[in-house]
Amino acid sequence: MSQQIPKPPQAHLPGLGMPMRPAMGKGGAWNYPVNPFELQKELEFGIEHHKSGRKEEAERVYRSVLQKVPNQPDALNLLGVLAMEADNHEAAFDFLGRAIQARPKDPAILNNYGNALSLVRRYEEASEHLERAVAINPDMADAWLNLGRNLNMSGHPLRAIECFKRLQKLRPDSPSVQSGMVRALMELGRTEAAESAARELIAKHPKSSTGYVNLANTRKFKLEDPEVEAIEALLADSDTAAKEHRGLYFAAAKIYDDTKRFDNAFKYYDTANKLAGGTYDAVALERFYADLKKTYSRKFFEERRNFGVQSERPVFIVGMPRSGTTLLETVIGSHPQAFAAGELETIKRLEREMSTLVFKDEGVGKNARHLTWAGAEVLANRYLDVIDHKARKDAAIRVTDKMPHNFQTVGFIALLFPNARIIHSKRNPMDTCLSCWMQNFNDSHSYSRDLADAGHHYRQYQDLMAHWHEVLPGRILDVEYEDMVGNQEETSRKVIEHIGLPWDDAVLQFHKLDRTVLTASVWQVRQPIYKQSAGRWKNYEAHIGHLRKALGI
Over residues 498-530, the pLDDT tens digits come to 999 999 999 988 666 555 544 545 545 444 555
- Strand 421-426 and strand 314-318: the pairing is parallel
Over residues 470-484, the pLDDT tens digits come to 999 999 999 999 999
Examine the pLDDT at 397 and tell me if it is beyond 70: yes
Model pTM?
0.81
Q: What number is the average pLDDT over the span 231-245?
A: 88
**Distance from the first to the final alpha carbon of the chain:** 25
Pick from 4-18, 145-159, 270-284, 288-302: least confident: 4-18
Q: Is 422 helix (H, G, I), strand (E, B) or coil?
A: strand
Contacts of 295 (CB under 8 A, 6+ apart): 365, 366, 368, 369, 411
Q: What number is the average pLDDT over the span 22-49?
A: 70
Taking the C-alpha atoms of residue 373 and residue 537, their distance in angstroms, rounded to an integer, is: 46
pLDDT band at 10 (very low <50, low <70, confident <90, very high): low
As its CATH architecture, domain 1-171 has Alpha Horseshoe (1.25)
Q: What's the confidence (pLDDT) of residue 20?
A: 46
Same fold, 1-171 and 297-428+474-531: no
Q: What number is the average pLDDT over the span 276-293?
A: 92
Examine the pLDDT at 257 and tell me if it is beyond 70: yes
Strand partners, 316: 401, 422
Write the DSSP symbol of residue 6: P
Contacts of 203 (CB under 8 A, 6+ apart): 211
- The residues spanned by each domain of the chain are 1-171, 173-276, 297-428+474-531
Examine the pLDDT at 532 and tell me if it is beyond 90: no
Taking the C-alpha atoms of residue 172 and residue 160, their distance in angstroms, rounded to an integer, is: 16
Q: What angle do CA 214, 216, 221 make, to 5 degrees?
A: 155
Q: What is the CATH number of domain 173-276?
A: 1.25.40.10
Over residues 432-491, the pLDDT tens digits come to 999 999 998 876 788 999 999 999 999 999 999 999 999 999 999 999 999 998 898 999
Q: What number is the average pLDDT over the span 120-142?
A: 92
Taking the C-alpha atoms of residue 186 and residue 127, their distance in angstroms, rounded to an integer, is: 21
Taking the C-alpha atoms of residue 433 and residue 436, their distance in angstroms, rounded to an integer, is: 5
Contacts of 55 (CB under 8 A, 6+ apart): 49, 82, 85, 86
User: Domain 297-428+474-531, CATH 3.40.50.300 — does that match?
Assistant: yes
> 252, 258 in Cβ contact below 8 A?
no
Q: How far is CA 454 from CA 85, 122, 270, 379, 546, in A?
A: 25, 25, 13, 32, 10
